[in-house]
Each structure stands twice: as C-alpha cells, then as structure tokens.
Amino acid sequence: MAELNVVVPYRSVPLKVVFTSMCALFPLWAVIAPAILGFLIGRAFAYPGVIPPQLVAVGCTALLTTMLSCLALSAVSENNRIHISKDGLCFPPSFLPRLGFKRNRNWSELQSANLVKDAGPYGGTLLLSFDSGEHLNLPLRNIKESDVEQLLLGVELWGANCNRSPELIEYQRSLQNETRGIGQKSYTQMWEDELSRRFAPTTFIPLEPGKFLQGGRIEVVRQLAFGGLSAIYLAHLNKTDLVVLKEAVVHAKADPAAKQQAEQHLEREAKMLSTLKHPNIARVLDHFVEDERHYLILEYISGQDLRQFVKQNEGQDVETVVDWAIDAATILAFLHANEPPVIHRDLTPDNLVVRNDGALILIDFGAANQFVGSATGTVVGKQAYIAPEQLRGKTVTQSDLYSLGGTIYYLLTGRDPMPLSISHPKTLRHDTPEALDDLVAKLSAFEPEERLQTAVEVVDQLKIIKASLPGRDVVATGEVS
C-alpha cells in the first residue's frame, strides 16, 4: 500500500485575517512604500542637507521595517500547511513560538497525543506533547475532517513512542467509520456486520497490531485493508524494514479438493511473482504459510496511490494522465509478455503509486484475491474495475486492459466508472481529447475481442495521443520533439 505522505492545510481565523489584510494592503507596502523610500533616498543624495539626515534615517528605517514586516506576515500567514511523512511532522512557521522555534519534529520526539473535547460540533482540540517540553494545541475546527483523519493516521502509523489517549482513539475510529459510511457504529459492530453479511460463519479475524509471525521476524504494525477472507497489513521485517503483508484464508467450509487446489495455485503464483523484476513493480519478497493462513510479503513503496493523489490534488492535466496511463500500460505489457502471461486482475488507482521521485509503481497483485475466489466460488475486487469476463471466472489479458480503461477514466474525472458499462470520460471532463475518450471506450468494451488486444497497442495509441496534445510537435518518427 502507499505510504501516507500528505499535506494538511490548517485554516485558523487569525491566519486568514492576517493574510487577507496583507493582500488588501499589498499596494501600500509592496508598491507605494518602496516608491516613497526610493524618492526619499534619491532626494537625500540629490540635495544633501535639505532634508535632515536624522529624518531620512528615521523615514528609511520606518519604511523598511514596514515592508519587511508585511512581507514576513504574508509569508507566514500564507504557509498554513502541516506536512506529514515517515520522517516526521513539519508545522507552519506561525507555530514556531509554540514549538521552541523548531518546526520540524521527528516522530521519536512526539510523546503523547490527546483529545480535549468541547461542546462544539468539531470534536475539540488535539493536544500534542513533545519530549522537549513543548505542547501544541490544534483546534480541530481549523482542519477538514478528512485531513484530521490523515493526521491521526500518521500519528498511529509512525508515532511508535506516542501515547494516544482513549478519547483520541475513539474519535479516530468514529472518523474512519464515517468515511466508510458506517455512521456511529464501532469497529467491533462494523466487523460483526460485515462478517455476518458477506462471509457467513467463519473463524477469520484480522491480525491485531503487535502480532508477531515467523518467530518474530515479522511484526504487524497496523491493518491497511480488509475484505473477503483476506487482509493487508503494514509490517516490520526484521524490526527495521517496512513491508506490506498480504494475508488470505480459505473458508472453513470450502470443499477440501477446491481448498487444496487453491492453496497450490497461490503457492505457484507467489513463487512466480517473486521472480518478476521490473523497476516499476513492487517486488514480492517472500511467501509463507502460518496457522493455515497464506502470506505474501511485498516491497513497501514510499509515495501516494493515485486515488489518494487525485482526491488530495483534484483533477490532473490531460498530459499528466496520459503519462501515467503510458507507464501503467507499459507495466502491463511487461507482465503479459511473460510465458504464460501474468494477469494482474486488480489494476486500480489504489494499486498504482506515485513514488516520491515521481515514478509510477504497481504495488499489489490479485494473487490472494484469485486464491480466495477459486476456493469459494466468489470474486473479490473493486467491481467498477472488473471486466465482465472476470466476473464470469474467465480472466484474460484483455481483462487488465478493461481495468486500465477504468483507471484512466478515474484519473480524468475523479470518479469511479460505472460497473459493466462503456466509459466516456469526456461527458464529465470536457477537455478530454476525442482520441483519448475513444480509447477509454474501446478499453471498457463489454467483450474482450472488442477491446484493443494488447497492452503494447495501448502504449502506441497513448503515445500518439500525447504527441497530438496542444503545444507538442509531431515529427516523422511519431516521437515528441
């Protein structure tokens, strides 16, 4: 899964007032004051002695002080973002007096996080305490709910030494439940409802944080996703490296022959995936079985998945989307070129990560999903991106191209495509080139034979589309000059 690496805007009223005031007064301190200063200095040099030197010094000092103060206030009030990464927290400059003038804080410095509730509708105030003695109060009314969830997730994920209060943990759970549309249900209720509704009687319970596997070699840090008889976790490998742990369990009442076949299938596919070597694919590091549960250990990629990226940064320009689509199609071309072809089965915006250096990385495979499906007769996955033949249990390489079409649609529009339908992003994103709209429609055709047949063809089509975008010149070779 993608690493949490986000920017949280902090919208306090005083900062808004200061920034608005500085913008309103901009002509005075950025234009008129420098002009007066220049005039004053010019007159002093042109007519020495006419204006008393003391008056010139006082006037220049006052004007310079005003300009620099307004410039500093503008910069401080404009930079209102809290940066969250695996390295720590970086707070806005306006927080400096409260943080002992040290705005960058490592996670090891964070001692405790508490929620001080109030009677308002915003939850209260988040109180962060650091080992150097500073305390930082963050009224939650100044942060969007979705950003609060991101901030608390960072504290949970990396604040290993941080003592989180029960009130804060409960508040975080309520936020997560609301995000998932569960209203006021607790996590326990949610899991009970989900298990009883979807999985019938089963003994599958996701692993708890702190659980050790393989004799202590692997420690579960937290759960990242849960669905079907499988789960995905963030874990420590050998107490140092972060990895992604993917877990799958066969239904307890599965037919013994089907169960054995599914287990053999997963083992073969895990071994095959571990042999894949591509710079834009997260490596499968290992596969093991423990307590009748099958596990894949995957490389952990630092960056944001495309769903998170689009939600945070809103719509991307068409050229960026085309570049991402070329990268994703190139990855599929590599997978499908294997003998036999490697079919991904789960290509979605959630499984493509923009790494910190800008590279697009495929981070997960559908092996465990296929494993569970073959054992239970069901399909596990994100239905908006699943090809019709995949739902019928007849997955082919063109099924991945269907998923790619849905992913391009999401990147252009910010919305998941309608399941089992031909997608036309131009209906929502009017600046989508006709050729790109046609390509997405072809990729989302109902029958495999109606789509483009290979990922290589998709790459070629996307390169032609990129070359035809406004501001790009096409030369004889078809490359962009």
Give the rounded distance of the alpha carbon of 347 from its chain centre.
16
Q: Identify the active-site residue in 346, 364, 400, 416.
A: 346
Q: Is the pLDDT of residue 375 over 50?
A: no
Q: Worst-scoring range by mean pLDDT, 7-11, 116-120, 238-242, 280-284? A: 116-120
Is the model's pLDDT at 462 over the cut of 80? yes
Say what the pLDDT of residue 463 is.
92
User: pLDDT tens for residues 41-98?
Assistant: 888 888 777 778 888 888 889 989 988 888 888 877 777 788 887 778 888 888 888 8
Give strand pairing partners of 2: 301
pLDDT range class, residue 323, cuts 50, 70, 90:
very high
Q: What is the pLDDT at residue 480?
A: 38
pLDDT digits (tens, 9 = 90+) for 144-189: 877 787 788 778 777 767 888 888 877 877 776 555 444 444 333 3
The average pLDDT across 445-453 equals 87
pLDDT at residue 75, as a whole number: 79
Residue 40, φ and ψ in degrees, nearest 5:
-65, -45
- Which tens digits make up the pLDDT trace of 23-51? 888 888 888 888 888 888 888 888 777 77
Length of the chain: 481
Least Cα distance to 148 among 13, 15, 16, 6 occurs for 6
Task: Assess contact for 422 and 444: CB atoms under 8 A.
Answer: yes
Residue pair 465/435 in contact by the 8 Å Cβ criterion? yes
pTM of the model: 0.55
- For residue 228, what pLDDT is reported? 55
Mean pLDDT over 97-102 rounds to 84
Look at residues 350, 376, 362, 352 and name the one whose alpha carbon lies nearest to residue 273. Answer: 362
Q: Is 346 a residue of the active site?
A: yes
* CB-based contacts of 375, cutoff 8 Å, min separation 6: 250, 251, 254, 258, 259, 261, 262
